[in-house]
Amino acid sequence: MSAGRERAQDRDEQPPAAVPAEAPSVAPAGLGGFSGTLTPGAVLALQRSAGNEAVGRALASAGAPVGVYREGLLDALDLRDDEERLDAEEDLEDFRKQPLAPLTNHKPSSGLGTFDVAADMRAGTMTVTLKVAYKFVDGDASTVAKGYRPEEFKWDPAEKTAWKTRYQTDVGAMWSARFQAKSTKKHWDKMVVDTTVKVVEDDAAPHFTLTVSKYPPDAGMIQSSICPPGYHHDAGRCLANAAGDKTGSAKLDSNDMRPEQKLDWGNATSTIQFAEGSDALDGAGKAALAPIVSALKGKPEAHVQLTGRASTTHKRGVTADDGAIANMDHARNRTAAVQAELAAQGVAPDQFLIRNQGENGAGAGKEWCRVDAQVGTKQTQNPALHETGHMLGSDDEYTMTGTPAGAAMGAKYDGMIKAQTGDVVTAGDNESAMSLGSTVRKWNYAAFLEGLKAVTKKNEWTL
């Protein structure tokens, strides 16, 4: 029964809100035997004794002077044209006016992630807030190639601020406003909700503590990971927190906000050779760049990873550490020379991914005096944004040992997706943000849809 119908039960004693308490009674003509005055009680009595058609004739004969009163009575007796739609729209308006209590520490049914939810139905908005604490630590030089200077593994205050700002901005840009939630209630078509995701720093009560290690900007990729709520990283494992501590843990590094060519791993590599001991690009080296220019110029979706290398040869009398630093400098200078030549031929700055290895994995021969160039055309991924997906309730979707292409997702993640979106997701290496790309899929909003249903206390929502 609609809210309008429920209110009708009291109208013998109290007229509708839209009608003055002292609304005039009317003695209409031609009521088919009814000779009383047109008061709410009289109309209800007429309806009970003679039916809705008799009431309709009575109201029609009342005329314009009681138009507002007439509409209220029509509503009370469900006699308006398109009554179902009008009742639903009134219910929707009431719903949109109601303030909603925010949810704190909402946990998706996937068993992953925690976030706060606040919604404003008048504005048609929902805000998902991820609270994090930052812990900035020195990087571990033993996990990357030799030759980087010790100071390159230490943070300075400006770098910390810049990293936090970029992380919070890029998470919001990637995860917000990808899909719109819509009410499935009949005649509630106008009720849609846009989602904003934001990260805020909260040292007192974070959902996750982010430990971010510092590495040189051209070092190789370090593996990042997440421990779910109630667990923390310890020697490469996720161990349970102390009782009552539901904070999760993220292990990230300073380079996790840069793009990685994950979908293009394994592509063919071109070699740009340098003379031993030289950082200058000669004619043969420039000629070797021609196919790379063709693959990149005018194609903003394409990119090239340049990896600078050097032989293990050291100058006489230098230490092994100083020799490795000198060779890393050679590698960096060679990469810079290749990058400058490609830029001069029209390759855009954001098409370069620089990773230098120096003498790492090399031998003493001059063939190691080179830059390797790997062109990619597929979508890249920023690791920190992928890991944030776990904090927001999504699981990994790429293939791995024990999870080949086509394998089902974990039971809880699979159950949440099917319940909220109806999608069937299987493992695969593709552009999904939770696989190897950066595209937020509809099912990655399943945790947000759960949050919307919880904060509104209504299940009639879809994406």
* 3-state class (DSSP) for residue 208: strand
Judged on CB neighbours under 10 Å (0-12, 13-18, 19+), 281 is buried
Taking residues 438-459, report their average pLDDT: 98
pLDDT digits (tens, 9 = 90+) for 122-142: 999 999 999 999 999 999 999
Same domain for 280 and 363, yes or no, is yes
Residue 40 inside a domain? The answer is: yes
Instruction: Establish if 221 belongs to a structural domain.
Output: yes
Average pLDDT over residues 154-172: 98
Here the CATH number for the domain that contains residue 372 is: 3.30.1330.60
Residue 247 and residue 269 in one domain? no
Q: How far apart are CA 440 and CA 458, in angstroms?
A: 25
Nearest to 41 by CA among 91, 77, 3: 77
The average confidence (pLDDT) of the chain is 89
Instruction: Determine, yes or no, domain membership for 255.
Output: yes
Helices then strands, counting H and E runs in the chain, come out as 12, 15
Residue 410 lies in a domain: no
User: Does one domain contain both 142 and 253?
Assistant: yes
Least confident interval from 9-13, 87-91, 454-458: 9-13
| Claim to verify: residue 324 and residue 353 sit in the same structural domain | yes
**Integer CA distances (angstroms), 2 to 69, 96, 280, in order:** 19, 16, 81
Total domain count, the chain: 3
* Residues 125 and 65 occupy one common structural domain: no
pLDDT-above-70 percentage for the chain = 83
Given a cut of 90, is residue 449 above it in pLDDT? yes
Do 27 and 137 fall into the same domain? no
Percentage of residues in the chain having pLDDT higher than 90: 80
Q: Does residue 110 sit in the same domain as residue 195?
A: yes
Q: Is the pLDDT of residue 6 over 50?
A: no
- In this predicted structure, what is the pLDDT of residue 72? 55
Q: Quick one: 283 and 217 in the same domain?
A: no
- Domain containing 76 equals 3-80
Inter-residue contact 441 to 386 (CB < 8 Å): no
Do 273 and 235 fall within a single domain? no
Residue 33 pLDDT exceeds 50: no
Domain boundary among 80, 111, 127: 80
How far, in Å, are 26, 194, 227, 419 from residue 164 at the CA level?
A: 71, 25, 20, 35
pLDDT surpasses 50 at 23: no
Domain limit, last residue, from 347, 376, 405: 376
pLDDT tens-digit profile of 250-284?
999 999 999 999 999 999 999 999 999 999 999 99
192-235 confidence digits (pLDDT tens)? 999 999 999 999 999 999 999 999 999 999 999 999 999 999 98
Question: Is residue 246 included in any domain, yes or no?
Answer: yes
Structural domain contains residue 304: yes
Q: What is the mean pLDDT of residues 59-86?
A: 59
Average pLDDT over residues 36-56: 65
Residue 175 belongs to a domain = yes
Sheet holding 370-376, edge to edge: 270-273, 370-376, 303-308, 352-354
pLDDT at residue 84, rounded to an integer? 84
Q: By mean pLDDT, which of 85-89, 94-98, 287-291, 351-355 is the weakest?
A: 85-89
Residue 141 DSSP one-character state: G
Asked if residue 228 and residue 144 are part of one domain, the reply reads yes
The confidence score (pLDDT) of residue 307 equals 98
Residue 324 and residue 218 share a domain = no
Per-residue pLDDT at 9? 40
Q: What is residue 175's predicted lDDT score, i.e. its pLDDT?
A: 98
Which residue, 263, 233, 235, is CA-closest to 248? Answer: 233
C-alpha triplet 273, 274, 277: angle, nearest 5°? 150
Q: Can you give the pLDDT at residue 401? A: 94
- Same domain (yes/no): 111, 190: yes
Q: Residue 29: is its pLDDT beyond 70?
A: no
Q: Residue with structure tokens 């009552």?
A: 244
